Amino acid sequence: MRVGILGGGQLAQMLTQAAVSLGLDTAIYDTAPDTPASRLTHHNGVGAWDDLAALRDFAAACDVLTLENEFVRAEPLIALADEGVSIHPSGRTLAKIQDKLIQKQTLIAAGLPVPPFEPVASVADAAHAGATFGYPIVLKKRYGGYDGYGNATVLRHSEVAEAYARLSASGAALMAESFVSFARELAVMVVRGYDGETRAYPVVETVQRNHICHIVRAPAGIPRHIAALAQEIAVRAVQAFGGVGIFGVELFELLDGQIVLNEIAPRPHNSGHYTIEACVTSQFENLLRAVLRWPLGDVTQLRPAVMVNLLGTRTGETSAADIAPALGVLDAHVHLYGKREGRVGRKMGHITALGATVADAERIAVRAASLCTL
Ligand code: ADP
């Protein structure tokens, strides 16, 4: 049985690792031939995200397709599904999530809490959002943003024109959102099976540094009723899109304990990497189970865990030697993503540490990360 993965980055690499343990074969489709995950399989497809013919050839060699990033185009996936190809999450689900404006409209239509937002097609529209919501506002590209690229926080009216011009420079469609003064950022992984069954992993706290996820504390140190609310909202958000697979749901916890949705990712998520070591079933294994119509796995967390991302601190070649010192730290699990070239701020790997408490795990993870020289 072969699972075709659209995208060959670190998420595909970890998905391949889970696939191997289940006796599955993988194939990778990406725009470049040499990706971290394509080196792990003999079955590779190379082509543009909208190359229907290349995608069709690739799909012909696979039993089911899934995806690991949102740069994949929805339209060809919808066309292939209409030809009988099994793709999960579906192109239709992807289309509703990929466009941040449609995503928010779908969530609000489902009665879910999101920050006030408006479509923006001109400087005047952006200024209108600022006047309506009050500053600051966050201008966002509707498509293709990741790790904060594609967002601009606009503090005052005088900054609107410059921020609009910068974000829309390449013709990008934008939206505006009210700035949320959150107490904490939370995230929940939700797996949804073929029959609509959902299972929510524990609520984690995510800390971003320069808009990139820096640290994940699992579970989040929040009262039980807030965790239950966050899980309920995350599950309802996933149900609003109706797809099969694994979904990362990002949330804001407000100072008064209210939960507001930030965004949803239709794929394995950085905030769910801790599940590899800390949960009965990892987010990657559960994605495979879901798309193959197999029973979903137990999402119970077995031990407190903290994940720290390993970001590049220099340009140039990296190797396993750069993580070797961290291997001496007990209870730290080091993952390297096989990216040959390092770059300042690039996600090169991560460390998950297990501990008796979250604080314990954090000390171990931070210490191990400090020994890496990526
Ligand atoms: P990306 O798709 O690039 O990850 P997000 O929309 O998730 O972008 O935003 C990245 C980070 O920017 C969030 O994790 C959060 O810290 C901050 N952010 C996004 N939207 C808002 C908002 N409306 N108010 C306050 N902070 C926000």
pLDDT tens by residue, 218-241? 999 999 999 999 999 999 999 999
Residues 174 and 201 in one domain: no
pLDDT category, 210, cuts 50, 70, 90? confident
Grouping H, G, I as helix, E, B as strand and the rest as coil, residue 216 is strand
Mean pLDDT over 183-201 rounds to: 97
Query: In this prediction, what percent of the chain has a pLDDT beyond 70?
Result: 100
Query: In this prediction, what percent of the chain has a pLDDT beyond 90?
Result: 93
Residues 213 and 358 in one domain: yes
Residues 220 and 343 in one domain: yes
CA of 104 to the centre of ligand 1 (A): 13
Does residue 98 form part of some domain?
no
Q: Please give the torsion angle defined by the CA atoms of residues 251, 254, 257 and 259, in that order, rounded to the nearest 10 degrees.
A: -30
Mean pLDDT over 340-355 rounds to: 94
Residues 229 and 322 in one domain: yes
Token duo for residue 72? 């994949």
Q: Which pLDDT value is given to residue 147?
A: 75
Closest CA to 203 of 220, 215, 191, 224: 220
178 CA closest ligand 1 atom index: 23
Does residue 280 form part of some domain?
yes
250 CA closest ligand 1 atom index: 7
Token duo for residue 107? 């969530």
Can you say whether the dihedral through the CA atoms of 311, 208, 305, 37 is positive or negative? Answer: negative
Burial class (CB in 10 A: 0-12, 13-18, 19+), 156: exposed
Contacts of 220 (CB under 8 A, 6+ apart): 184, 186, 202, 203, 204, 205, 227
Residues 201 and 254 in one domain: yes
Contacts of 312 (CB under 8 A, 6+ apart): 318, 342, 343, 344, 345, 346, 347, 348, 374
Residues 299 and 213 in one domain: yes
Q: Which pLDDT value is given to residue 340?
A: 85
CATH of the domain at 326: 3.30.470.20
Residues 366 and 316 in one domain: yes
What's the mean per-residue pLDDT of the chain?
96
pLDDT category, 44, cuts 50, 70, 90? very high
**Which of 120, 138, 250 maximizes ligand 1 atoms within 8 Å of its Cβ, making it the mutation to test the pocket?**
138
Does residue 151 form part of some domain?
yes
Given a cut of 80, whether residue 363 has pLDDT beyond it is yes
Does residue 239 form part of some domain?
yes
Residues 198 and 290 in one domain: yes
pLDDT category, 175, cuts 50, 70, 90? very high
Token duo for residue 360? 């314990």
Grouping H, G, I as helix, E, B as strand and the rest as coil, residue 112 is coil
pLDDT digit string (tens) for 145-173?
877 788 999 999 999 999 999 999 988 99
Does residue 345 form part of some domain?
yes
Token duo for residue 60? 């012909």
CATH of the domain at 161: 3.30.1490.20
Given a cut of 90, whether residue 90 has pLDDT beyond it is yes
Residues 333 and 202 in one domain: yes
Q: Which pLDDT value is given to residue 170?
A: 84
Mean pLDDT over 11-29 rounds to: 97
Does residue 101 form part of some domain?
no
The residues lining ligand 1, judged by C-beta closer than 6 Å to any ligand atom, are: 115, 138, 140, 145-148, 150-151, 177, 179-180, 185, 208, 211, 250, 262-263
Q: Which pLDDT value is given to residue 139?
A: 97
CA of 204 to the centre of ligand 1 (A): 16
Token duo for residue 119? 């479509």
150 CA closest ligand 1 atom index: 3
**Which of 146, 211, 247, 347 maximizes ligand 1 atoms within 8 Å of its Cβ, making it the mutation to test the pocket?**
211
Specify the amino acid at residue 370.
S
| Residue pair 112/177 in contact by the 8 Å Cβ criterion | no
Q: Which pLDDT value is given to residue 146?
A: 78
Does residue 102 form part of some domain?
no
CA of 275 to the centre of ligand 1 (A): 23
* Residue at which a domain ends, from 136, 157, 178: 178
Residues 173 and 187 in one domain: no
Grouping H, G, I as helix, E, B as strand and the rest as coil, residue 245 is strand
Closest CA to 236 of 70, 109, 145, 146: 109
CATH of the domain at 79: 3.40.50.20
Number of domains in the chain: 3
Residues 19 and 54 in one domain: yes
Token duo for residue 13? 């690499």
Question: Could you please report the per-residue DSSP string of 285-332?
Answer: HHHHHHHTTPPPPP--B-S-EEEEEEE--SSEE--GGGTGGGGGSTTE
Given a cut of 90, whether residue 196 has pLDDT beyond it is yes
Residues 26, 33: Cα–Cα separation, whole Å? 15
> Residue of the nearest CA to atom 8 in ligand 1?
148
Does residue 31 form part of some domain?
yes
Range of the domain at 319: 182-370
